Chain A
Amino acid sequence: MTKIVTTPLTLEKVQDLKSGDRVLLNGTIYTGRDAAHKRLFEMIQRGEKLPFDLNGQVIYYVGPCPAKPGTVIGSAGPTTSGRMDPYTPALLQNGLKGMIGKGLRSQAVVDAIIKYKCVYFAAIGGAGALLAESIKEAEVLAFPDLGPEAIYKLRVENFPVTVIIDSEGNNLYTVGKERYRQH
């Protein structure tokens, strides 16, 4: 079933999301991938103030294409989430509630998702043109020197995602594969 959810995420909203749900996200989300994660993680370790308050927020693992003149953003599909794993538990501990990416997560991330009651969504990898249509506003918020890896603040409308790992640790990648496996 499809659920419509508005950010920021609360504990109640997160607990209503179950692995396998299709969700249309609305509101503000933030982008961040490899280099931005490394910087956020190092800032947390040094006790510095982050460029945005993580509480209840959602980070989208994406490095978009440049916007053509007259458009909000270029193609903007998810990147592989696993590369963010070393940094993710610290972000979840500091209030981050949701992540959008694609692909497998480490056990440490799954444990942190359960511990801090968070949710991991996947957007369709390789569907950057389709996903860009749901992004209505985009502005660079931090680390402009990183180019496509800068942190953008996005406003999304009905941004289509699927719940992969819910706050209880149920995992669509495991369950879905087992259901259709013939080996």
Chain B
Amino acid sequence: MREIHANQIISTVERLCIESNINLPDDVKNALDDALKMESSPLGQEILKDIIKNAEIAKEKNIPICQDTGFAVVFLKLGQDVRITGGNLVDAINEGVRRGYINGYLRKSIVTDPFLTRKNTKDNTPAIIHTEIVPGDKINIILAPKGGGSENMSALRMLSPADGVEGIKRFVLETVDKAGSNPCPPIVVGIGVGGTIEVATLIAKKALLRPLGQHHPQPEVADLERELLAEINKLGIGPQGFGGSTTALAVHIETFPAHIASLPVAINIQCHVARHMEAEI
């Protein structure tokens, strides 16, 4: 049994909140650089240049890439041989989020009572915490701030098994087409297929954590990712929806076994500010 003090979790989460909002991951930067070379619209190229320049300014000035510093979504892998001392896990994560968003001058975007008072909690808590118990004596934390604009364009549909791959393709293209300029394209598309409704949506979100351009290990799934990316980029939406050939930077699919009666498909849309950062304690 290894003991980890709550303070260590608090300071790690605080750091991840701040750094993930300021530094765009290298895989996303590379994908934007590649997109700029491929983009067919002159205006689209100008937009991509500004998006790349924006990430450079954020890093240089140590300020958030985007003002929507998001919901603090935390993916935890908790080693079963870890014992937390000096506090409890959920409180420690929320305290880390509170400190990160206040000390990092990040925007507080969370309101209470979604359809009643909608009062700002003023410290961006609560975090959304997904915990997995794993073997070992470490805690792995991924912090993925999620903006509201792209989250709002996400969708879930319970397809029938007879709809098959064609049904999945239709649903994805329809969802991205309808979203248009709203989710700040170029986007990353996370798709979860299988499980129950909550599993489909959760794996769709987890798909967004994969380094851009890294395909699913199963060749048939990887082929579908490639095909969907090509089809999405033929929609013409382009950077910021001004028209062009770069609507998405990547399509990532995760799968889970399904019930004999079901083919759930969840689509989680992520804007070009595809932030996530990892730490291990």
Interface residues of A (CB under 8 A from B): 20, 22, 35, 62-68, 74-77, 79-80, 82, 102-104, 122, 124-133, 146-149, 160, 162, 172-173, 175-183
Contact = CB atoms under 8 A, between A and B. Distances in A.
Nearest to B242: A176
Contact of A177 (B58, B147, B148, B235): B235
B81 interface: no
Interface string B125-149: 0000000000000000000000111
B50 interface: yes
Contacts of B57: 129-130, 133
B68 A79 contact: yes
B109 A132 contact: no
Contact-size category for B = 35 or more
A102 B237 CA distance: 13
B119 to A, nearest CB: 9
Given A63-B107, A80-B148, 10 more contacts: A63-B109, A77-B68, A102-B149, A102-B184, A103-B180, A125-B66, A129-B64, A148-B107, A180-B41, A180-B243
Contacts of A127: 50-51, 54, 66
A82 B236 contact: no
Q: Which 4 A-B pairs have the closest CB atoms?
A: A176-B243, A181-B236, A125-B184, A180-B236
A129 B105 contact: no
Contacts of B105: 65-68, 74
Contacts of A180: 40-41, 236, 238, 243-245
Contacts of B243: 172, 175-180
Contact of A176 (B43, B109, B273): B43
Contacts of B112: none
Given A148-B107, A180-B236, A63 B67 contact: yes
Nearest to A74: B105
Interface in B142-163: 147-149, 152
B120 A146 contact: yes
